[in-house]
């Protein structure tokens, strides 16, 4: 299937500042793009593309004072399959993990592994290691945390989510990521597009979404503690230790978001050919 995806973000910028972005499709999906996902900025500014420490396609923008508009529309081919699953994927002993996965066992800004380790062991220490253990984490977080845009808070950590039992998609993933790391399963935060493809349309305007990936067997697998079900049309943009590393935009000065629109929808192939 073909997915039309993109965004329209507008900011009021009181004084010239710098912004970094992770608004591009992840390198792992570049071959699927049928139209480029160029970052377009109005007014025209210096855009410096670079690869960040986690292999994400990033950019640095030098924003002038005034109204700034970031936008793109792109087309991506997707096989339409649900998230991959392997219920027999084993947990890898720490001594045998690839060295580049070890950082994803550590505590980070939003994932307090040291503080939640005793709780994780109490809750999941007796679950079968491997896929079943990660799924048990997702089941627990999904059933015990309430989703609420109204109660979103940018500073909420995994421990806060465990205590308050409320949050938005990033909060669900932070708690699940932390529990996995406590259990010696490498886990990383992921962000991207997840439209209402193959599911009833949500009543809220579309946003970028968060999920997480766990390393089992010999690869990373997609899990989603918020929805806790396999989905179609998931398009990765960025991964990292937590939401700090996968923030869609980061400003190094005051910026005021005035408009926010995200799209990710299936279109007919013959329609795409006329554009």
Q: What pLDDT digit, counting tens, does each position of 4-30 carry?
A: 999 999 999 999 999 999 999 999 999
Vertex 236: Cα angle to 161 and 44 (nearest 5): 105
Rounded Cα distance between 116 and 114, Å, is 6
Query: What one-character-per-residue DSSP string does 143-188 give?
Result: HHSEE-STT--TT--HHHHHHH-EE-HHHHHHHHHHHHHHTT--EE
**Distance between CA 222 and CA 210 in Å, rounded?**
11
Domain 2-80+248-273 identical in fold to domain 94-240: no
| Stretch among 64-68, 201-205, 251-255 having the lowest mean pLDDT | 201-205
Taking the C-alpha atoms of residue 119 and residue 262, their distance in angstroms, rounded to an integer, is 37
Domain 94-240 sits in CATH 3.10.620.30: yes
Task: Report the pLDDT value the prediction gives residue 275, as an integer from 0 to 100.
Answer: 45
Instruction: Over range 112-125, report the average pLDDT.
Output: 98
Distance CA 151, CA 61 (A): 31
Q: What is the pLDDT of residue 268?
A: 66
Cα dist from 77 to 17, 80, 95, 160, 205, whole Å: 36, 9, 38, 38, 23
Average pLDDT, integer, range 187-215: 94
In the block, residue with structure tokens 């593309």: 49
Of 175, 179, 234, 209, which Cα lies nearest the Cα of 29?
A: 234
For residue 194, is pLDDT > 80?
A: yes
Q: Give domain limits for the chain.
A: 2-80+248-273, 94-240
The CB density around residue 124, as the number of other CB atoms within 10 Å, is 21
pLDDT at 163 > cutoff 90: yes
Q: What is the rounded average pLDDT of the residues 29-50? A: 96
Question: What fold does the segment set 2-80+248-273 form as a domain?
Answer: Immunoglobulin-like (2.60.40)
pTM equals 0.94
């Amino acid at each position: 299937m073909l997915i039309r995806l993109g965004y329209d973000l507008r900011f009021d910028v009181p004084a010239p500042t710098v912004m970094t972005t992770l608004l591009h499709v992840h390198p792992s999906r570049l071959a699927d793009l049928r139209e480029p996902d160029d970052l377009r900025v109005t007014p025209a500014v210096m855009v410096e593309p670079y690869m960040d420490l986690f292999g994400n396609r990033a950019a640095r923008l030098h924003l002038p004072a005034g109204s700034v508009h970031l936008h793109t529309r792109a087309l991506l081919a997707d096989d339409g399959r649900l998230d991959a699953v392997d219920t027999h994927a084993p947990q890898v002993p720490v001594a045998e993990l690839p060295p580049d996965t070890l950082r994803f066992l550590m505590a980070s800004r939003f994932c307090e592994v040291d503080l939640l380790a005793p709780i994780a062991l109490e809750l999941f220490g007796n679950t079968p290691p491997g896929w079943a253990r990660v799924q048990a984490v997702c089941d627990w977080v999904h059933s015990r945390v309430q989703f609420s845009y109204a109660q979103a808070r940018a500073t909420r950590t995994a421990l806060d989510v465990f205590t308050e039992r409320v949050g938005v998609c990033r909060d669900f993933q932070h708690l699940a990521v932390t529990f996995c790391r406590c259990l010696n399963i490498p886990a990383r935060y992921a962000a991207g597009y997840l439209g209402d493809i193959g599911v009833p349309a949500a009543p809220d305007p579309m946003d970028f979404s968060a999920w997480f990936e766990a390393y089992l067997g010999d690869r990373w697998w997609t899990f989603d503690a918020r929805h806790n079900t396999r989905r179609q049309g998931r398009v990765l943009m960025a991964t990292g230790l937590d939401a700090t590393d996968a923030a869609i935009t980061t400003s190094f000065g005051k910026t005021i978001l005035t408009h926010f629109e995200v799209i990710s929808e299936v279109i007919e192939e013959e329609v795409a050919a006329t554009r």
